[in-house]
């Protein structure tokens, strides 16, 4: 029986070497029934043209403006759907997938037709490769995300339990669910679009699973960046997600949780970068109410 076609969508934004490394790792893997789609989101220094030259056997699309993470991934997914791929794998360009990662994820997806999304065991790229994440738990009653497995040894046996969402750096989606959901919501420019997609899957009765034997190294540590752009889009995303999904009776406790999150961002931004982000958090809140994120935020 032939292996199902997997279309891998990788978004590039000023990360040429990371993207090439990610593609090399995919090519050296054990799963061969895959196609690679790279979306360059208006990178500098003609990176899109260089990718098209270097990756001659991949589909490379070069955008003239940065359309955002979700919109860029939607472009790639449209190509995947047209190619009749059975599964779409969204992979961050700063990841290094293990040789068997795609095969392990496909195995989990095929084990139950009701599984809409599958994730991997995400490890820190630097030794000793501690667990970065195997998913999240989250409640609109509390508003404070909990990372499952964070800092555990790479091979530790983890109790995943109930999943609220799967980390979007390595996220496999069934094409049938992708069509059903409509893809990533364009009201999210960067961050939390994957959270909403997972929420939509759970709301419609689909399952989320982690392929625990599927390993991917991720260069960027979760919560390690405290730039103004990162904080704006993270808080905008969480606020917009809350507005779209929380019931009215959850807001008294959710508001308190969101306040704690905002204070945490403000504290760590000042401690690590010496910047005051309180006005930025207020701007993110205003924009989230409007459903209109800013594309260009000062770093």
Domain of residue 250, residue span = 228-290
Confidence tier at 243 by pLDDT (50, 70, 90): very high
Q: pLDDT per residue over 155-189, tens digit each? A: 999 988 889 999 999 999 999 999 999 999 999 99
Instruction: Give the position of tokens 């738990």.
Output: 137
What is the average per-residue pLDDT within 107-114? 96
Containing H/E element for 187? Answer: none
Residue 159 is predicted with a pLDDT of 86
Residue 167 is predicted with a pLDDT of 92
Global model pTM greater than 0.85? yes
Residue 143 is predicted with a pLDDT of 96
Alpha helices in the chain (DSSP H): 16-27, 47-54, 69-82, 101-111, 175-181, 193-203, 228-245, 251-273, 278-290
Cβ distance 14 to 43 under 8 Å? yes
Residue closest to 86 by CA, chosen among 61, 59, 107: 107
**Residue 222 predicted with pLDDT over 70:** no
Q: pLDDT per residue over 260-272, tens digit each? A: 999 999 999 998 8
Same structural domain for residues 278 and 214?
no
Domain boundary among 158, 183, 218: 218
Do strands 87-92 and 6-12 pair parallel, antiparallel, or not at all (unpaired)?
parallel
Confidence tier at 129 by pLDDT (50, 70, 90): very high
Same structural domain for residues 121 and 214?
yes
Same structural domain for residues 280 and 191?
no
Is the residue at 296 inside a domain? no
């Amino acid at each position: 029986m032939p292996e199902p076609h997997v279309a891998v969508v990788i978004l590039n934004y000023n990360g040429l070497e990371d993207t090439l490394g990610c593609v090399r790792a995919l090519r050296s893997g054990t799963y061969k029934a895959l196609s690679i789609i790279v979306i360059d989101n208006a990178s500098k220094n003609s990176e899109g043209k260089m990718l098209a030259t270097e990756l001659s056997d991949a589909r490379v699309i070069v955008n003239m403006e940065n359309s955002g993470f979700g919109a860029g991934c939607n472009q790639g997914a449209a190509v995947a759907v047209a190619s009749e791929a059975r599964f779409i794998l969204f992979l961050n360009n700063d990841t290094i997938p293990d040789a068997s990662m795609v095969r392990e994820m496909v195995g989990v997806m095929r084990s139950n037709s009701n599984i809409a999304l599958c994730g991997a065991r995400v490890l820190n790229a630097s030794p000793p490769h501690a667990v970065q994440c195997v998913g999240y738990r989250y409640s609109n009653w509390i508003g404070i995300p909990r990372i499952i497995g964070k800092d555990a040894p790479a091979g530790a046996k983890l109790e995943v339990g109930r999943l609220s969402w799967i980390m979007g750096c390595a996220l496999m989606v069934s094409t049938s669910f992708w069509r059903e959901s409509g893809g990533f919501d364009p009201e999210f420019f960067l961050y939390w679009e994957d959270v909403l997609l997972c929420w939509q899957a759970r709301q419609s009765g689909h399952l989320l699973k982690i392929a625990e034997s599927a390993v991917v190294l991720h260069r960027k540590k979760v919560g390690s960046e405290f730039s103004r752009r990162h904080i704006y889009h993270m808080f905008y995303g969480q606020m917009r997600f809350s507005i779209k999904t929380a019931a009215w009776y959850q807001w008294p406790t959710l508001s308190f949780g969101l306040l704690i999150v905002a204070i945490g961002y403000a504290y760590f931004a000042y401690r690590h970068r010496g910047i005051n982000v309180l006005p930025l958090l207020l701007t993110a809140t205003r924009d989230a109410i409007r459903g209109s994120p800013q594309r260009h935020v000062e770093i």
